[in-house]
Amino acid sequence: MGPSPPLGVGHAGRVLSPTVRPFAMKETITVSPVTRIEGHLGVTIETDGGRVASARVVGEMFRGFERILRGRDPLDAQQVTQRICGVCPVEHGIASVLAQDAAYGIAPPPNGRIARNLAQAANFIASHITHFYLLSGLDFVDVAQVTTYTGNDSALIALRDWAKSELATNTVNAGGPFLPQFPAQLIRDPELNLGILRHYLEALEVRRDAHKLGALFLGKLPHAAALIPGGITEKITAIQIAAARALLARLATFVEQVYVPDVVAVATAFPAYFSLGRSCGNFLAYDAFPQSDGGSPLLPAGALRDGRLERVDIAAITEDVRYSWYSSPSGLRPTAGETEPAPDKPDAYSWLKAPRYAGSPMEVGTLARLLVAYRDGRTPAVKSAIDSLLKTTGRTPADLDSVLGRHAARAVESKLLVERCAAWLEELRPDRPSCVDFKIPATASGVGLTEAARGALGHWIEIREHRIANYQCVVPTTWNCSPRDDNGRPGPLEHSLVGTPVADPAQPIEAARVIRSFDPCIACAVH
């Protein structure tokens, strides 16, 4: 850590509106790249008096998937769209096969539907554990503290000896990739700190097990091979169910005994983050995890605006591009969406479009779907899990709308999913079919709505002359990290950053915690 820059100078050396009173000081802080998220993200923050006054969130990478899909065989879609994101491939594959199921007029048999749920849940759990420990963890955990470890845990001893030998050398970037960190404001309690560091190492193994659970049904992860319209290509066998039970037991132990308690401990150590990162007040979720009884899905759809829960009307979804690097028309519905890149467009500042629901920015993600399910009430397990969390942490439902609320929601959802997966496994029937046959019509269209780990995911397919005529994806992080819309309203993350204190402009750790609480995925968001 270097010395703090002189007042009035941002870390990048830019001189910024110097004023007389230090606490009225305006500064511009650029956090780019934001690491420990998926992909290429930058955030520019204007502070005033030591707090964020406004923020611009910049998606820094574009590939053009929607353009590449045009003219291809419709069946390519669930494989191509999985490659939008290596962290969320299963969810893209599922959104795509749901869109195609609708377009072809088919539905998977029970084995196919359940196996899709299991693989999707496995990817959620892998993603949530990865997010808390590998991505966000280093915003809280002091890695260098392991050098003082005196206990007898072999993994921590190995890490200690590694860290000591690294720090003793004069090589560049000693301690990489974990160091350097922003050293400010990390966990002070050595026992908690070392405990979470130990669990970081365990999380590496557990997320691998979660991927194995998905691969049992879908061939491999990331980028699942066996997803197909009408179900999955893999056959269900007794040994596969037994192997899945064993993997699931390990996941359940970690989630219940380690992940949930660690989130509660971090929440207790950083209580201020229950009031930072407050949302724009609007939440959107789609139906996810269809249940075998034909009743409500495990996690129901809903649009929560100004405290009122509404049914989702997908015709209310539009995408603005005034501040995005596209020249295609603004405000289009996904069914008529266009993606014409214009990298030199004046005033634009991001590769993300700005999706809006009836004109409103909407936060999506685990917190959104749990708040919707809590209000919806058809899944009692969600209500009891959230009530139990609030009791443990001594919080109110309003506190969940925060940095820590987002972390806690992921832990609660992971617990809910390991429990549901155990029940779904028992519903699989070996030697019954896991897919149905289908024909691809010359002309058809379909919408696939589901939830990714990071939130509401929609795919829209239009088929003409047996080929893809148009394909549009409206993706979780596109909602959360969107730039301003045509009316100048900021996106959910841009909104949530406002008011965040930044004690040291050279180490904007507070802003980094708000950003990472959304678990941004830029490869998804731009595609």
Partner 1 sequence: MEPITRRSFITLSLRLAAMMGLGSSAVPAMADALERIVRGRAPALWLQGQCCSGCSVSLLDSEPLGADQLLTRQIALAFHQTLSGATGHQAVETVDRAIAAGGFILVVEGSVPASMPRACFFGEENFGSQLLRAARAAKAVVAVGTCATSGGIPAAEGNPTGATSVPAFLTRSGVATPCISIPGCPAHPDWIVGTLVHVLQFGLPQLDKAGRPAAFFGKLVHDQCPRFADYERENFAKNFGDDGCLFHLGCAGPLTRADCNLRQWNGGTNTCIRAGAPCIGCAWEGFAAKRDFPFYLKNDHTRPAEGDRT
Within a 10 A sphere around the Cβ of 134, how many other Cβ atoms? 14
Q: Quote the least distance from Cβ 159 to partner 1, whole Å.
A: 7
Q: In what order do the strands lie in the sheet with 41-48?
A: 26-31, 41-48, 51-59
Q: Which of residues 208-247 bind partner 1 (CB under 8 A)?
A: 208, 211-212, 215-223, 225-226, 228, 230-235
Assess 93 for contact with partner 1 (CB under 8 A): no
Strand partners, 38: 521
- Between CA 453 and CA 458, with CA 457 as vertex, the angle to 5 degrees is 165
- Which residue among 7, 22, 72, 398 contacts partner 1 (CB under 8 A)? 72
CB 114 within 8 Å of CB 218: no
Q: Quote the least distance from Cβ 445 to partner 1, whole Å.
A: 16
Assess 165 for contact with partner 1 (CB under 8 A): yes
Assess 30 for contact with partner 1 (CB under 8 A): yes
Q: CB under 8 A: which stretch of 202-210, 374-382, 410-418, 423-431 binds partner 1?
A: 202-210
Nearest to 58 by CA among 45, 41, 73, 46: 41
Beta-strand runs (E) in 127-232: 227-228, 231-232
Assess 71 for contact with partner 1 (CB under 8 A): yes
- Which residue among 83, 164, 245, 489 contacts partner 1 (CB under 8 A)? 83
Assess 158 for contact with partner 1 (CB under 8 A): yes
- Which residue among 177, 294, 295, 307 contacts partner 1 (CB under 8 A)? 177
Assess 288 for contact with partner 1 (CB under 8 A): no
- Which residue among 172, 293, 295, 307 contacts partner 1 (CB under 8 A)? 172
Looking at beta carbons only, is 11 or 454 nearer to partner 1? 11
Q: Quote the least distance from Cβ 111 to partner 1, whole Å.
A: 10
Q: Which residue has the tokens 């845990």?
A: 153
Instruction: Identify residue 523 by its one-letter amino acid code.
Output: A
Q: Quote the least distance from Cβ 424 to partner 1, whole Å.
A: 18
- Which residue among 151, 176, 329, 397 contacts partner 1 (CB under 8 A)? 176
Q: Quote the least distance from Cβ 276 to partner 1, whole Å.
A: 17
CB 424 within 8 Å of CB 297: no
- Which residue among 24, 167, 168, 204 contacts partner 1 (CB under 8 A)? 204
Assess 249 for contact with partner 1 (CB under 8 A): no
Our CA dihedral for 501, 503, 508, 510, rounded to 10 degrees, sits at -40
Q: CB under 8 A: which stretch of 163-171, 274-282, 285-293, 390-398 binds partner 1?
A: 163-171
Residues 6+ apart with CB under 8 A from 62: 325, 341, 351, 526
- Which residue among 379, 434, 480, 500 contacts partner 1 (CB under 8 A)? 434
CA 25 and chain centroid, separation:
34
Looking at beta carbons only, is 375 or 467 nearer to partner 1? 467
How would you classify the pairing of strands 26-31 and 41-48? antiparallel
Q: Which of residues 296-355 bind partner 1 (CB under 8 A)?
A: 325, 341, 343-344, 351
Assess 432 for contact with partner 1 (CB under 8 A): no
Assess 467 for contact with partner 1 (CB under 8 A): yes
Q: Quote the least distance from Cβ 403 to partner 1, whole Å.
A: 16
Backbone conformation region of residue 189, classed left if phi is above 0, alpha if psi is from -120 to 50, else beta: beta
Q: Quote the least distance from Cβ 444 to partner 1, whole Å.
A: 12
Q: Is 324 helix (H, G, I), strand (E, B) or coil?
A: strand
Q: Which of residues 105-134 bind partner 1 (CB under 8 A)?
A: 130, 134
Within a 10 A sphere around the Cβ of 156, how many other Cβ atoms? 18
As a whole number of angstroms, the distance between CA 525 and CA 519 comes to 12
Assess 84 for contact with partner 1 (CB under 8 A): yes
Assess 28 for contact with partner 1 (CB under 8 A): no
- Which residue among 107, 264, 265, 440 contacts partner 1 (CB under 8 A)? 440
Our CA dihedral for 373, 376, 382, 387, rounded to 10 degrees, sits at 110
Residues 6+ apart with CB under 8 A from 50: 23, 25, 501, 502, 503
Assess 79 for contact with partner 1 (CB under 8 A): yes
Q: Which residue has the tokens 């308690």?
A: 261
As a whole number of angstroms, the distance between CA 505 and CA 271 comes to 22
Assess 433 for contact with partner 1 (CB under 8 A): yes
State the number of CA atoms in the 13 A half-sphere of 293 facing the CB. 5
The contact pattern for partner 1, residues 386-425, with x = CB under 8 A and - = no contact, is ----------------------------------------
Q: Quote the least distance from Cβ 79 to partner 1, whole Å.
A: 5
Nearest to 279 by CA among 367, 180, 402, 173: 402
Looking at beta carbons only, is 135 or 267 nearer to partner 1? 135
Alpha helices in 394-475 (DSSP H): 403-427
Assess 466 for contact with partner 1 (CB under 8 A): yes
